[in-house]
Amino acid sequence: MKRLYWLLLILAVVAGVASVLLFGSPLAEHKGYVLIAFQGFRYESSLWAFVVVVLALWLLVYLLRLSLRLLVTSAGLINPWSRLHKRRRVRTASEQGFLELAEGRWARALRHLQQAATRSPQPLSYYLGAARAAHHLGQYDVSDDLLEQALNRQPQAELAIALLHAELQLARGQTAHALDTLQAMRSRHPHHHLVLRQLQQLYLQSSDWSALLGLLPDLRKEKALGDAELSELERQAWRGRLLQAGQPVGSDTVPALASLQQAWQAMSAAQHKEPVLVTVYAEQLRLLGAEAEAEELLRHFLKQHYDTALVRLYGLLRGRDLGRQLQTAEGWLKQHPEDAGLLLTLGRLCVHSQLWGKAQSYLESSLTFQRHPETCTELAHLLVQLGDLERSNSLYQESLRLLDPRLCTQGLPAAI
């Protein structure tokens, strides 16, 4: 547009000078004089005539350049190897390739995106898409080679390429390779939230709870996750850590118990109040034979934070003083008289103390509020000891039916 303005301006000047020369003007009385002499060449004219010649020559050069440009452009429209046609082919291949990638047509997407990548000056997105398509085809070597080509063409995109590479390695089950890739990126980009999130997913998938717990402060600091998601992740990590620590090696449970207690002490005071974590810890203590410690833990916790799931677990424990344990549970009954889980626990504690009549009363009361298979089984066991076999068998059948209707044996022939 600016060139058009300049052209119009020059034409106006030429027209003005020509009108002065042809039709006269006060300036025409002072025409001026121009003399150019060089090695036998001699040019003489008035000043205004010289200006007209210069402007005419400039206009001629401009028109020649414009004509040549139009000629080249028109040739490019016809020539299939022209730059314009090349861009059109890249655009067409990329549009088809990304559409096929979204639709899951991996082979065609790979072919079209490879074509676009080799012909584009900015091929990163095409190489990444082609690598993803090759991965879905199971051509892992091709996928890695495409990412290598992308890195060679656009080395400044190292982080984006590495993130996709780690994602694909993790999807293939190449956890160690993915970890190496992400740790290298973390050393170069320690605060990048996508690197941290992929590390979090890798640790979660591989159940590396210690590493995940070590990553949590950075996730929180960089705000890579929302508060609710971060809290749930932390809870899940500590739960996995407790379960992992409580796994005995062989028949010796002492090292596992020490490891479990050490993991519990490493948790914060707020996490010691999480019912899910308390449940896991107490259950692991029970499995490792530390029932007295688990009973003491639950007794103190339930005084402050009543939880039905923990109350059920409390009935499976045998503390140092069964009488005090039963008395404690009966104290909870005053505030929760219709809690079927608490009544089941009381029935179990009475069985442990050999209070058969009281145990039967608690278990039958529990069944009036909830027909639970555990309660049916406990009462059936008790009735066997009391000699009521017919009702005991009925409760066993009910327990099976509550677990899975297909397990019920009521429909079997009488002879069986």
Mean per-residue pLDDT, 324-330: 94
Confidence of residue 412 (pLDDT cuts 50, 70, 90): very low
Number of domains in the chain: 1
144-153 as b/e: b if 16+ CB within 10 A = bebbebbbeb
Domain annotation covers residue 20 = yes
Q: What is the pLDDT of residue 322?
A: 92
Domain annotation covers residue 40 = yes
3-state secondary structure of 37: strand
The amino acid at residue 410 is Q
Mean per-residue pLDDT, 391-396: 92
Mean per-residue pLDDT, 209-230: 93
- pLDDT tens digits for range 334-354: 999 999 999 999 999 999 999
- pLDDT tens digits for range 53-69: 777 787 788 788 877 77
Mean per-residue pLDDT, 347-368: 94
Q: For the packed helices 340-352 and 322-333, what is the interaxial angle rounded to 10 degrees?
A: 160
Bigger pLDDT: 279 vs 24: 279
- C-alpha distances out from residue 340 to 57, 181, 360, 392, Å: 106, 53, 14, 20
Domain annotation covers residue 319 = no
Q: What is the pLDDT of residue 72?
A: 59
Domain annotation covers residue 216 = no
Distance from C-alpha of 316 to C-alpha of 304, rounded to nearest angstrom: 20
Q: What is the pLDDT of residue 286?
A: 93
Domain annotation covers residue 165 = no
Structure tokens at 80: 């299939």
CA angle in degrees (0–180, nearest 5) for 241-264-279: 80
Domain annotation covers residue 55 = yes
- pLDDT tens digits for range 31-41: 666 667 777 67
Mean per-residue pLDDT, 206-227: 93
CB atoms within 10 A of CB 290: 19
Domain annotation covers residue 27 = yes
> Which residues lie below 8 Å from residue 95, measured CB to CB, with a gap of 6+?
none
Range of the domain at 34: 12-70
Structure tokens at 90: 């890249």
Confidence of residue 253 (pLDDT cuts 50, 70, 90): confident
pLDDT at 21 over 90: no
Domain annotation covers residue 64 = yes
CA-based torsion, 215, 218, 222, 227: positive or negative: positive
Phi-psi region of 34 (alpha: psi -120 to 50; beta: other; left: phi over 0): beta
pLDDT at 77 over 80: no
Q: What is the pLDDT of residue 195?
A: 95
Distance from C-alpha of 346 to C-alpha of 352, rounded to nearest angstrom: 10
Bigger pLDDT: 234 vs 73: 234
Q: What is the pLDDT of residue 50?
A: 72
